[in-house]
Chain A
Amino acid sequence: NAGVTQTPKFQVLKTGQSMTLQCAQDMNHEYMSWYRQDPGMGLRLIHYSVGAGITDQGEVPNGYNVSRSTTEDFPLRLLSAAPSQTSVYFCASSPRRGDSNQPQHFGDGTRLSIL
């Protein structure tokens, strides 16, 4: 039982490049989400999914796309990387939707730098 696995752990991109951050969970959780964490700020929700085939926008969705074709995987795509997207990205999952009384399980993050 690996929990939430994020790959890669580190990535450097050039402005304008695209890439996909991978997230997989093996706990059969319905709810998955992506956050970014910037210095001096709380985690901010980018996109979330309440189940396979269902996704929705969080607080800061611009510049990012997601899809949820299976319960286990929830990739985050940067369409055209910008320096403002330099951040640490966390994927999280929980058994049910975000306001349930269940803890979210977080991955260990992807540290992304955009030059």
Chain B
Amino acid sequence: KNQVEQSPQSLIILEGKNCTLQCNYTVSPFSNLRWYKQDTGRGPVSLTIMTFSENTKSNGRYTATLDADTKQSSLHITASQLSDSASYICVVSALGSYIPTFGRGTSLIVHP
């Protein structure tokens, strides 16, 4: 069964600090991995998309990495801001599938 596991479940950091969120998956055959940011009361917004051949992709202060061999991804947030407080969702798609597999998300709280 395809699964996506995210850790930690929740995280509290101080403004200006860096943090890293983890995503492990068992989806096969792999097509792509996406990270989304979901603010409270809003729909998810795409941060990055990575295919098998990509191991790093950045979007401003967000940098995602992918190790397709170990089936792990991370999302690194640099110099966190209060607006980074949100849920971060990892989503993995299999080749030929119309049904992506979503992780449960990591809830990040940034305190001033």
Q: Which residues of A contact B (CB under 8 A)?
A: 4, 31, 40-45, 48, 50, 56, 58-59, 90, 92, 97-99, 101-109
User: Could you say which residues of chain A place their CB within 8 Å of the CB of B65?
Assistant: none
User: Could you say which residues of chain B place their CB within 8 Å of the CB of A101?
Assistant: 31-32, 49, 51
What is the size, in residues, of chain B's interface with A at 8 Å between Cβ atoms?
Answer: 26
Query: Which residue of chain A lies nearest to B46 when distances are taken between CB atoms in the complex?
Result: A103
B43 and A109 contact, CB distance less than 8 A: yes
Whole-angstrom distance between the Cβ of B87 and the nearest chain A Cβ: 10
B99 and A58 contact, CB distance less than 8 A: yes
Known: A42-B105, A99-B32, A101-B32. A50 touches B98 (CB 8 A): yes
CB-based closest 5 A-B pairs: A106-B43, A103-B46, A42-B102, A98-B98, A99-B93
Partner among A40, A45, A105, A106 whose Cβ is within 8 Å of the Cβ of B99:
A45
